Structure 1
């Protein structure tokens, strides 16, 4: 490996740039649906060696070194995000005549912006770069901080955060219960980059030893939580959930030509007899914006729902909600989730708080509309965001914490105690993205929110992936992508809502503090003297 590392350190020009892009693209293979876990080790090892190469030119000033580090990190990020998010262009093909022109912006423009965070991560790492293990800690510090910033700045977009590569299966998801997504992300970068130490031999023993210990703790804690942890405190209530996955083509939904047919398909799947071995469902769930009417303006639709539901059953469904604003003003529209009982009465509702830019609303609206740019979902004025999120309390006393669509990718969208909810419910419509990696990536990120908080997840998607998972991220039952049907799953929920006592934000900053300490003392030469 020393010979390979040496060759990479000496690369220049387009070869260096091309390898940086390739290294990032290789890392994207670790994300669903591929799940090539080892790809991240290759990706970050190459990145470390590329950054090492910036120290080899004595004529390059410190400022130029930082600029070169930023460019290397940016190119790495460009490769990662183009390879991992190319499928966003598929959403623009649903209405190709109106939006196909924007495909380069989605496939290349957005990745170029997101890559800025990775450029900053590499530049921050270079500020405390040193020989041996310290530079690995510096890189983990830079990426941990900038991944957190990526989830925060300008409404945030933490899709495919590096930490997800370290949590592809329930055994490897449990560390997020203690550290949260961003704590796991920072430590994951340290582990992924550790093989780079074999290429220079400096700091290899302490660095690789620490990486092995972190990996052992990651797997060991997962095994303990899944197999040896004590049972839940308090008696569990068994709840039967039916997930309706109609698999309605997105173009058909947008045309609104057969709204009655779409509505009746949902009702037919709702009223189907339970599969053998399953009891009658207590709760039926429809996906995001599945009701093709404004429910409050269509009492007949509520009557039909009440007729289909059996005694004691409730329906949770996504629908557009309209709020009148007075004479001469268009209504405000909200992307909402409703709780409806067997009499067709709306018992509770909650509106989406974190809207999707360019999908549900138009940033810089006045400016962009002058150029004829519209949001994908065409409503007068677009959707409006809700000021707060309200849990849905069922007649049984159980409470579900609602996340609509991509709200589930934001750890910060969940209240620390979930407002006393017994489970997370996530409804979405990923039909925009077709048979691409998008729905698989979205499903993994939704599962991690349940593990972080230690509660079950109920997730219903128009075309999949729909599933019920327990509080450890293990799938109880589900429906695969692009399948039309309904499944019944029974899940146990503690009668007393569970609260995760770990402060993820505090633990994340503690992790960054430790990494910063290691990077700093290495920069000062203390660790080098130990080797």
Structure 2
């Protein structure tokens, strides 16, 4: 059967079957994401979405098309959130159907808005509509980064993380821009489902594929010309203890967890490897209030190398001017004498994980340990401490936000992401999180060091390549050198989402020109 026949069959399905088909298309698109990378399914997903939007008779129907597609896409792509609710199943397992279904339904509003806007202004001709839909997709991925506190997880551009060359364009156009070009190319075969194909339609499809191939070639050339340099005298040790989340805060085990990580930190380096100048632990690796417990702090300080620091995640507390106690999810650096020499408080908190929105209305507890909500930090910072270059700290999912990972007034020399992905077990979540860290490294042109409790810990160079890693579910340490950033600040790091806006406006302009020509 030709694509013309496939399209006729697809748009001619009875309403309930069409909705089911859209859910399946969205789910297929999710399987193209990390860690499976089944790229051909992305073509199926977006071709189906485009045909359904083209056949939708009005704005409300187009909104519904995008919504049904989004339900399938996010239910499959983000299923791993249910694993966090199984850490304490007696308290939270009952929330799984509400969390997975509710989250998918809510996230589906973004592709639904793509459908709605695709119909509010409907260019004439498949080629113009194709470009308009791809531009809208990039725009609403950006909206997703800040709406409802923001959650830009599994951006379409991340499907290329299996290829070091194909993620290099993120240095120039960001992950959002790479996603727009990807959606355009993946949807282009939809053109051949129309019996009447104008020359402009075929040309746009060809240019979309050619453009994607050109980006890949440019990425390959960038890597071919790349020369990695390292900071002199800087040697890192990353500690991955692989402590299950259900045991992490058990009162009788907490001290043993700390001692285990101290012992791992003090192991002799492999033959021929210099001793570390900095040791790094994961998010909340210390299950105590370090700032108020000198005994624990002295014990933890034994992990700091002579003349260097231990960087660890810990919960921090203080009494505010209003007399109320506040709690932060923090990164703290401790020297060998037990002094806290640098602190960063997590700025972007996870709703329901670290605080409960509308706490006075919703009768639920936050998922993380403790009764109190975490407070947000004052913003991104660059930390300076002995033995290492200036670093931009990121805690947990702060690394998923393009153009929001460095202090714009004080650019760091490298990035550090500490996280605790043990909440998500052996699901796709930790792999997807790692890919986000790799994309930020490419966008910023800076090395990214990722330290995770249960994995995947890694040293990532400024081209997004993983140079050292510890697999998910393993205990161990990584000893490695710290790569320097690329020579010149990448275009995306310099201008941020202004680059994405320029691409969006260019695509809208081309769509408008093609639409007017068809009318004539």
- TMscore range, shorter length: over 0.9
Gaps of 5+ in 2: none
Matched, 1:100 2:93: yes
Corresponding residue of 1:137: 131
- Residues 270-321 of structure 1: CA distance to partner in whole angstroms, max 9, x if unpaired? 0111124422111111000000110112112222233343322321100000
> 1:21-420 alignment to 2 at 5 Å?
21-54=23-56, 60=57, 65-126=58-119, 127-200=121-194, 201-202=197-198, 203-229=200-226, 231=227, 236-237=231-232, 239-325=234-320, 329-368=323-362, 371=363, 373-396=364-387, 398-415=389-406, 417=408, 419-420=410-411
Superposition deviation, residue 238 in structure 1: 5.2
In structure 1, C-alpha distance between the alignment counterparts of 2:387 and 2:79, rounded to whole Å? 44
SS at the partner of 1:420?
A: coil
SS at the partner of 1:106?
A: helix
Corresponding residue of 1:426: 417
Report which stretch shifted further, 380-389 or 434-443: 380-389
Report which stretch shifted further, 37-46 or 409-418: 409-418
Say if 2:22 and 2:68, in contact at 8 Å, map to a contact too: yes
Match of 1:452 among 422, 429, 443: 443
Distance 1:168 1:528, change over 3 A: farther
Superposition deviation, residue 506 in structure 1: 1.3
- Residues 398-449 of structure 1: CA distance to partner in whole angstroms, max 9, x if unpaired? 1110000001111142236572311000000010111000000111011111
In structure 1, C-alpha distance between the alignment counterparts of 2:220 and 2:436, rounded to whole Å? 21
Say if 2:394 and 2:418, in contact at 8 Å, map to a contact too: yes
In structure 2, C-alpha distance between the alignment counterparts of 1:199 and 1:469, rounded to whole Å? 42
Corresponding residue of 1:503: 495
SS at the partner of 1:19?
A: helix
Say if 1:339 and 1:392, in contact at 8 Å, map to a contact too: no
Say if 1:238 and 1:492, in contact at 8 Å, map to a contact too: no
Report which stretch shifted further, 502-511 or 243-252: 502-511
In structure 2, C-alpha distance between the alignment counterparts of 1:527 and 1:510, rounded to whole Å? 25
Superposition deviation, residue 135 in structure 1: 1.2
Superposition deviation, residue 151 in structure 1: 0.7
Report which stretch shifted further, 509-518 or 411-420: 411-420
Superposition deviation, residue 32 in structure 1: 1.6
SS at the partner of 1:419?
A: coil
Say if 2:308 and 2:387, in contact at 8 Å, map to a contact too: no
SS at the partner of 1:367?
A: coil
Say if 1:172 and 1:219, in contact at 8 Å, map to a contact too: yes
In structure 2, C-alpha distance between the alignment counterparts of 1:48 and 1:291, rounded to whole Å? 50
Match of 1:514 among 495, 506, 520: 506
In structure 2, C-alpha distance between the alignment counterparts of 1:124 and 1:17, rounded to whole Å? 19
In structure 2, C-alpha distance between the alignment counterparts of 1:527 and 1:74, rounded to whole Å? 30
Matched, 1:11 2:9: no
- Give the aligned CA root-mean-square deviation in angstroms: 2.0
| Count of residues paired in the alignment | 512
Instruction: Give the alignment's TM-score, normalised by structure 1.
Output: 0.92
> 1:463-482 alignment to 2 at 5 Å?
463-482=454-473
Corresponding residue of 1:57: none
Distance 1:432 1:240, change over 3 A: same
Say if 1:312 and 1:341, in contact at 8 Å, map to a contact too: yes
In structure 2, C-alpha distance between the alignment counterparts of 1:307 and 1:235, rounded to whole Å? 27
Instruction: Give the alignment's TM-score, normalised by structure 2.
Output: 0.94
